[in-house]
Chains A and B, each alone.
Chain A
Amino acid sequence: MARPALSDRELALKAVRLRQQTLTAIYDAGAGHTGGGLSCLDILNVLYNRILNVSPETAGSPARDRYVQSKGHSVEALYAVLADRGFFPEADLKTICHYQSHYVGHPTRHIPGIEMNTGALGHGLPICIGMALAGKMDAAAYRVFTLLGDGELAEGSNWEAAMAAGHYNLDNLTVIIDHNTLQISGHTRDVMSNEPLDEKWRAFGWAVKVVDGHDYAALTEALSQPAETGKPTCVIANTTKGKGVTFMENVAKWHHGVPSDAELKQALAELDVAAAPLKESV
């Protein structure tokens, strides 16, 4: 990518604006997935600004990297990041969930920059294995990424796919787990415990990295290249559901809570406060 590299501080400042756009989009739509969008936003920010070889100009290039958002419900954050990268005008964010708008509540290929239609959980990883296998068959250099929720890991199809990725030594494939430990009904450990995640993925033949999912340097280091030749990479990104807005953080009801007028105002103001010192030093 011939784009200027953004510093961690610049990314952090961008993240504040993307969080504000995500929240505003959910408020405007009257629906959406707030907590998970905020938890994965820093991951998306790093992917689209430092890792993925994608751009609006090369959206149809066979050589582009592929990103499939398996946790499709966090689409508002993805829309905000794609708009920021110029895949479509930011004004389109105002049409999310509107009549006859293709910006529906889960990703679809009608939207520039989106590779596959997702939203039912447990679908992204199998699809990405097909994409990674195609890349190997064609000796292509592209990499394939998917983002899974930790609650989503209860879907058995993930483990069918995890087995296949290890079997086929797909080192061009990276799974990122948005490990925010909450799902719609409460704590993942109470709904369906899935720990220890790292040991599970290792047992399926994956190279595993555990990082702070809000640390740009750590995410960049983990995602820049495959962790190990001959193995798919699993990055377990420890995140905070609702990250960046104090009253939403680690509260399960914000899984798909829509902010009221007052709550939106309060959230945007808190994010403005967070942005101030970043602006001064950029």
Chain B
Amino acid sequence: MSAPAPSLFTPAAKAMAATLGLKMGRANLDEFAATLEELAKANPNIVAVTSDSRGSGKLAPFGKALPKQLVEVGIAEQNLVGITAGLAACGKKSFAVSPGCFLTARSLEQIKNDVCYSDVPAVLIGISSGVSYGALGTTHHSLHDLAVLRAINNLTILVPADNFETRQAIRFAAQATKPVFVRFGKAAMYNLHQPETTFEVGRAITLREGNDVAFIATGETVVHALLAAGTLAERGVSCRVLSMPTIKPLDKEAILKAGRECRAVVTAEEHMVHGGLGEACAAVLLQGGVGKPFRIVGIPDEETVPGAQADIFRHYGISMEGLSETALNLLP
């Protein structure tokens, strides 16, 4: 029997989630697979393309239900993206599904040229991104993907936080006429949104209002920011929490508003601190003339500490406790 993976949430964090009324959902990876299968059953033009990744992409049921809509290319990510682009150029709604680490590094030139520059409506799905593969080591981490993809023209970049955002991101991608990249993890996620929440690409979602600290977070770090806001509220610090499911195009308006209305800004992402959400926010704030105390929480520019995803998150302060401490230290 192998030891269970350490939890992303400490007992205190779990207690805060309960206080905030958050319910645990399924992994965003599972939500993706279910959504894609549902969409593909209704639209025979949808094709999933895998690089020996149908198991890791949770697409085995998809492959069984819709064998003619799944193309297996073997362990060949360059070919994966080239084929996906060719399918899209001939009218297919093609989804390349592969671990984010390989998809966005091994086949970066195919993403740049075959998909974005050629402007075909292909979808790139980076599964188990960030440090989802934790202890498998740096080969399996994608901490560069947002940085490199932000520097490529003509790509919408989506990083959903929970099951709702994942479902909406995949639905958007399925009808997009331009290239889209979506990345998410494989750990079970709390559901963060109310039923009435609307999801719009290019728009931040305000999860909590507040004026002391603005947490601007993306993907599966959003929950930790929300829990930190709960903890800080108990200490009399009012926090705004913005979920940023769209990294590109970025919701500059929401970032500037948060910067102007709050006393400090903390960003959080499962990505290296270079080139991701944090630096993007810094550029928006600085160019918008907003100079508030500011911290980027993410993975620093060093060889990532060995450990499971939860260990890595805690090590670098991507946790309720870590984000609370960062925010308190930042407040003037």
Interface of A toward B, CB cutoff 8 Å: 62, 66, 108-109, 115-120, 122-123, 125-135, 137-138, 156-157, 160-161, 163-164, 167
Contact = CB atoms under 8 A, between A and B. Distances in A.
Interface in B82-123: 82-92, 94, 109-110, 113-114, 117-120
Interface of B is mostly: helix
Contacts of A130: 82-90, 92, 94
Contacts of B92: 130, 134, 137
A161 B79 CA distance: 6
B237 interface: no
B89 A131 contact: yes
Nearest to B51: A160
Interface of A is mostly: helix
B86 A126 contact: yes
Contacts of B249: none
A109 B114 CA distance: 11
Contact of A115 (B68, B73, B89, B91): B89
B226 interface: no
A161 B81 CA distance: 11
Interface residues of B, number: 29
Contact of A123 (B73, B82, B88): B82
B85 A116 contact: yes
Contacts, number: 101
Nearest to B92: A134
Contacts of A132: 86
Contacts of B6: none
Contacts of A134: 86-87, 90-92
B110 A133 contact: no
A137 B89 contact: no
Contacts of B47: 137
Given A116-B118, A127-B82, 13 more contacts: A109-B118, A117-B117, A117-B118, A122-B78, A126-B81, A126-B85, A128-B86, A129-B83, A131-B90, A132-B86, A133-B71, A160-B79, A164-B76
30 contacts: A62-B90, A62-B91, A109-B118, A116-B85, A116-B86, A117-B113, A122-B78, A123-B113, A125-B82, A126-B79, A126-B81, A126-B83, A129-B83, A130-B86, A130-B90, A130-B92, A131-B90, A133-B86, A134-B91, A135-B90, A138-B90, A138-B91, A157-B82, A160-B73, A160-B79, A163-B76, A164-B73, A164-B76, A164-B79, A167-B74
Given A116-B114, A134-B92, A137-B68, A127 B85 contact: yes
B78 A157 contact: yes
A122 B47 CA distance: 23
Contact of B110 (A109, A115, A119, A126): A126
Contacts of B91: 62, 134, 138
A133 B113 CA distance: 20
A114 to B, nearest CB: 10
A131 B83 CA distance: 7
A42 to B, nearest CB: 26
A127 B86 contact: yes
Nearest to B85: A127
B118 A164 contact: no
Nearest to A110: B119
A164 B113 contact: no
A103 B81 CA distance: 26
Given A127-B114, A164-B73, A164-B74, A133 B87 contact: yes
A108 B116 CA distance: 12
Contacts of B71: 133
Nearest to A68: B86
